[in-house]
Amino acid sequence: MASIDSVWSVRYGERVVRKNDVFYDYAQYGLPDGDLHMDYNFWVIRSGEKVILMDTGYDISARDWLGELSVMPTPEGLELIGLDPLDVNMVITSHFHYDHIGYLGLFKNAQVVSGADEYEYWFGKRNSNALEGEFTTEENLVPVEAAEKEGRLRLISEPTEVFPGITVYQVGGHCPGEVIAHIDTEGSGLILASDAAHFYEQIEHEWPFFAYTNLDQMRAAMKFLLKLAKETGATIIPGHDGRTRDRFAAVPGDAGRIATVLA
């Protein structure tokens, strides 16, 4: 029996993007351009009294990165869904981009699970003063370093069951240590793709995203997502697609303004 009780997607930001801007070399497909609603999310996984997050969101008001609009800041969103950051047992970081680890410092008691290649890449850049122009800052990396100093950081490079019912895989591509998570639910299971696949088009057509550190690894990551889904019967959840909210039900009550029930 699956050990996971529920999986929620929690939306903290949004923006509208054009297909031509977000898909690598979109013109090659000979298709018309169009808008996509891009959500910014983190994921809450509950098992008994244990709470695991995948990613954390970031403070949109603090810095204008790409024109994101705030829906509800992570601290307020956590309060709305009845979750104290200090009660979170684990945070899985899909990668170290600002929109995925910006609030990591809130979760001071949580074990932090990250890709080993991600850690090596970004701390290598930080140590050589090469973060300028990147999608993360030294400030974003401070909570990762704190977790390491406190013995709360767990780096993975191989497929690893980090919690009963949660297996993470380091796939690379969008970032060197991009991590996805397979969640063993009562149904067929879920694969939280985060930025290994931002939108459903990437799952359906294997279209690469415009931002990557290694294009071949990004293509390989999408193929791996599809292979894992076929082998396990799990449903792939893209990391930023606003249409996910149309395919799954909102959480009952006021929390439904931001939270969607995936399982």
Q: How many domains does the chain have?
A: 1
Q: Judge whether 195 and 174 are in contact, CB under 8 Å.
A: yes
Assigned domain for 198 exists: yes
Residues 45, 6: Cα–Cα separation, whole Å: 6
Q: Judge whether 242 and 36 are in contact, CB under 8 Å.
A: yes
Q: Judge whether 184 and 2 are in contact, CB under 8 Å.
A: yes
CATH number assigned to the domain comprising residue 40: 3.60.15.10
CA of 73: how far to CAs of 34, 36, 128, 262, in Å? Answer: 28, 22, 32, 21
Task: Note the pLDDT of residue 2.
Answer: 60
Task: Note the pLDDT of residue 43.
Answer: 99
Average pLDDT over the chain, rounded to an integer: 97
Assigned domain for 17 exists: yes
Q: Which amino acid is at 17?
A: V
Assigned domain for 150 exists: yes
Instruction: Name the region of 193 (left: φ>0; alpha: ψ -120 to 50; beta: rest).
Output: alpha
Segment 54-70 shows an average pLDDT of 94
Q: Which amino acid is at 10?
A: V
Residues 134, 211: Cα–Cα separation, whole Å: 11
Is the pLDDT at 1 greater than 50? The verdict is no
pLDDT (tens digit per residue) in 38-58: 999 999 999 999 999 999 999
63 φ/ψ angles, rounded to the nearest 5 degrees: -160, 135
Domain coverage including residue 153: 6-261
Residues 45, 5: Cα–Cα separation, whole Å: 8
Is the pLDDT at 223 greater than 90? The verdict is yes
Q: How many CB atoms lie within 10 A of CB 165?
A: 19
Residue in the block written with tokens 């932090």: 112
Task: Note the pLDDT of residue 64.
Answer: 82
Segment 205-215 shows an average pLDDT of 97
Assigned domain for 213 exists: yes
At residue 35 the predicted structure's pLDDT band, cuts being 50, 70 and 90, is very high
Assigned domain for 36 exists: yes
Bridge partners (DSSP) of residue 261 are 8
Assigned domain for 1 exists: no
At residue 94 the predicted structure's pLDDT band, cuts being 50, 70 and 90, is very high
Query: To the nearest 5 percent, what fractions of the chain are helix, strand and coil?
Result: 30, 30, 40
pLDDT (tens digit per residue) in 95-147: 999 999 999 999 999 999 999 999 999 999 999 999 999 999 999 999 999 99
Q: Which helix or strand (DSSP H or E) is residue 126 part of?
A: helix 116-127
Strand segments (E) across 93-186: 111-115, 153-156, 160-163, 166-170, 179-183
Assigned domain for 42 exists: yes
Assigned domain for 15 exists: yes
